[in-house]
Chains A and B, each alone.
Chain A
Amino acid sequence: MTLLELTDVTAFYGPVQVLDTVSLSVPEGGAVGILGANGAGKTTTLRAISGTVRAGGSIVFDGKDIRGLRPDQIAQLGIAHVPEGRGTLGDLTVRENLRVGAYTRKDRKNIAGDIDYCLELFPQLKERITSNASALSGGEQQMLAVARAFMAKPRLLLLDEASLGLAPSTAKTVYDSIKRLRAESGIAMVVVEQNANLAFTLVESATVLETGRNVLTGSSAELKGMDEIRRAYLGG
């Protein structure tokens, strides 16, 4: 069962074409990586899905074309975007950020339990629960960004460069927690990552973008075995 299907998606920033026929298929509960160099269109692909960039082609989520919907409408359908730069709300406390994440939920009585779950998943956040998000370290902010997205109980999580700017050990901690979150919740994921080694710990398949096009698509095992992937993204 396909949850998200992108077919020949295009996107422009002004006159500059950033996406030129990007396709992507995410099965229900699956995790798909998007790899590629700077400027290849990874982030823009996520933005096209979450409605923050106007896109051409077709973007079908759960059988419904979501192209042209506003970002908040797309979020309501069950797509949570953890943007590059994390997008945590600096002047709100950690707990308030988590409550913002739960904004669309109708099952109010389960929210407190899910906040507890997030704090168990990311124990560092527990100590900072009443701090403003702006006072957190980069790693803690990334954890908060993921936890906030989870609080929406989405069906699909868009994860943009969760390791950016983090120390390698912190990045690994974040990815380990996301892996656990995925195993326990079954949320499908689209994972954009420069660090392909980290991405492959989380996703079953991936596509490689170059100047806004898919140049390679395959399972994680296939891609890891390819010389060109190893040279370009896995450090030899």
Chain B
Amino acid sequence: MKAKNRIGNIVYHVLVCGLGLVMIYPLIWMVMSSFKETNTIFTTAGSLIPEKFVLTNYTNGWKGFAKISFGTFFKNSLFISIVATIGTVISSAFVAFGFSRCKFFGKRLLFVAMLLSMMLPAQVLMIPQYLWYQKLGWVGSYLPLIVPYFFAIQGFFVYLMINFIDGIPTELDEAAKIDGCSYYSIFLRIIVPLIKPAIVTAAIFSFMWRWDDFLSALLYVNESAKYPVSLALKLFSDPGSSSDYGAMFAMASLSILPAVLIFIFFQKYLVEGISTSGLKG
């Protein structure tokens, strides 16, 4: 029995590892390419190991553009992504609780509005949104990149949390209500601790999506010194003239680091759900 278990374990790890390698091959390729000489990236695309291991791509890339170093772009991105993510997570959880636990006038309509807002391609809203933010006087600042997220504007996150809150037995609320808890303290004291996995999931997604978003930065950020990483990365390529793919790969490799770190830091909270936090349904 024990031996069988051990073989099972080995098979498990070999399989998971093998498939995992396939999954991250492209990433390894990108990181390895960033250490190749920039004019050999295409010619040696088939091999992983650089013929000559160089760091010039990193120094060239970090230099940035017109005296603005990549450090600045990273700072900008961190600021935008973290603030917008905090806004998204808090507001989405709050709204989701209302949808999941309360019956109120206009709920169905509101839910439909939320779904509908996800069904229009972002590109088609570009110009109308620009005109609207211009009316609000927000163009040229980070406000359009941050403020909307404090209003649970992304239906995806609201719906995700509704789904989780729906999964929590209502008996808990009922008991708390009898004890004299208000809806607000039920939300804070009972629901929020229980939907931690959902909150963590949402935080990971939101951070990543804000980090990758370049369209709104392109439209609303006017000063080059305020560009986020996503926008700056695109500046390495210029069709029709020379592109510095080496520097682009180097900075692209660095740019996924924050998301990876956040994932590694948070992923263990995904493990802990109801079952381990001492509450049983």
Are these two chains actual partners, yes or no? Answer: no
Write the residues of chain B forming the contact surface with A, with a CB cutoff of 8 angstroms.
none
Write the residues of chain A forming the contact surface with B, with a CB cutoff of 8 angstroms.
none
